[in-house]
Structure 1
Amino acid sequence: MCNENLLVGTDTSDDAGVYRLNDEIAIIQTVDFFTPVVDDPYLFGQIAAANSLSDVYAMGGRPLTAMNVTCFPTNKLDLGVLEEILRGGADKVLEAGAVLVGGHTVEDKEPKYGLSVTGVVDPRRVITNKGAQPGDKLILTKPLGTGIITTALKGGILAPEVLDRAVGWMVMLNDKASMAMQEVETHACTDITGFGLLGHAAEMASASGVGMRLFAGQVPVYQEALELAEQGIIPGGAFANRNYLGERVVWDRSVPQSLRDVFYDPQTSGGLLIAVPGEIATKLVALLKEYGITVAGVIGEIVADHPGSIYVEP
């Protein structure tokens, strides 16, 4: 049964659920957790927490409370590892200005960690993935390629400085990007996580009833991720994303395979993909850079034809 106060549910594959409490306040609810993507437990906790909090920021909200969602093999790993994971998560929640109010832990064969987050937003200013309009420009706020990079880490072939740079972006909250987009007229937004740039972009296109053009040469990527992709270092999730999207993505022949692989690459704690009116794009990019988001730039545009599809040109 539909509830008139449920402003955002499951029908558009949006980032979180939104429920209106009154004319001025709606709550945002989301949950996410996953296995470690880095070896350092404290950094893993930070990355997982930032990833979970991102859904609230993508909808223009402010996180209020968070609860740990934890799986841990107590018979295999020292509890000190768990303490470091939780410490990393708690520090990131504190940075977000939210309050950690508890959580739940179960025994499992491998560690998993994330957060259930509750945030608030003005119900009249909720930003979803279904408001993109023809003529909008698309702006991305973090570089792509973390799935490929962490896959290389698991294979023991990643240079430490590459990992450090990727971790720096993954632990970065999307709070400032969210603040910037709320200062301008924003039509739609989603964060880029496990379905990769193309998967989440396709969700926005389908929900909004529009098509997209992406400019491959303008999308920020880790150069090392391209090089690793050329060597065949590609996570299984990228192949799953490619198979799922199928013919909804049309490629210009000149776009190299390595770049295509990065576009399908599942991201961890990725950036925001923001759709704004064309005349506002330059202003938003400038705001994002003032907030320290140096890679922010226009990577594509919304078109009226071929709803739900994406054309990727050089």
Structure 2
Amino acid sequence: MSAIASPVCVQSDPIFKSRSFLSKHRKWCVRVYRHHSDLIASLGIFTLNTILLASKIFKEIPHLIHRGCYTALSFSGMIWMNIQIRDLIKNSDDLYHNLKAKDWEGIIFTAAKVAVKSLNILLTGALLTASIFSLFAFPEIAFAMYAAMRPFSLFSLGTGILTEVYDYKKNSSLCARIKKVSEKQEVMHHFLKRLYHEKDLAQESSNKLLARHVFKQLDHYVMESMRKNLANKYGCETADHLMNKLDENDLNALFQSLKRGLKQKQQYIQANLGLITAGYISMGICKMWPDSLIQSSVTWIMSLLYTSKMIWQKSLHSGWSAKT
């Protein structure tokens, strides 16, 4: 008959201790990753940029390390490809509705957004392809691709700046208009029609126009989150069913969330105007001189600024210590 181990013996067992240690720290790592994955990714990109800059300055560092880091940074752009594609789909849908409404101002600027998003997707793939050619000792092909991409990159950059300025002015106008709305129910009904991809047969009115413009200005991520939250809370599949379930408080809460979405977008731009401006300048430099010491220096500085700002913002949140 085998002897039964006492609790004291089990707790003193090194295997038990190591398993307990790993289990405790695994849960801690999962919590940290769940709440700070954006910061972890930013630190990883900053590390790659540091190695890339060092390999440009110190020629003793093997060339393969430099090429590997550059390819890894180019590949990091592919990680966000699904978000870019979703934004492109939303902008294309906005363009379709602008064409139906014959909103010429909206058509011009939404078409510009579609062009920028499409070009950025193509350029992201082309940049990764060029870096792979360079990694496998075909620098001539890579530099020829960089030269061919330059005019398209500069066009995308310039058009992107114009659309950002337009968005900022449009958001300011919508924030002022939405404060004066008295018929919240009508605005929300038209907005939910767009959210649920339903045809809105009502005649063009100021409230319907406002709902369409607000929908157009909010990001795809915001729309998906709102659609998911409404489905979880009310379980409705159509805008009409949802409107029948909403009481005055629910309707007001939804309307306030629209105002908050526009306001937060404005506040983000105002708070990060310097960083956004520096980002566009750095993008222009990087597109003019790809895979150079100038580009490596600029991307390292921008990565440092972005990571430092993210650490500072997270440290301000009261949940920093509690979450981790």
Normalised by the length of structure 1, the TM-score is 0.24
Relative to its length, the structure with more helix (as a share) is 2
Name the TM-score, length of structure 2 as normaliser: 0.23
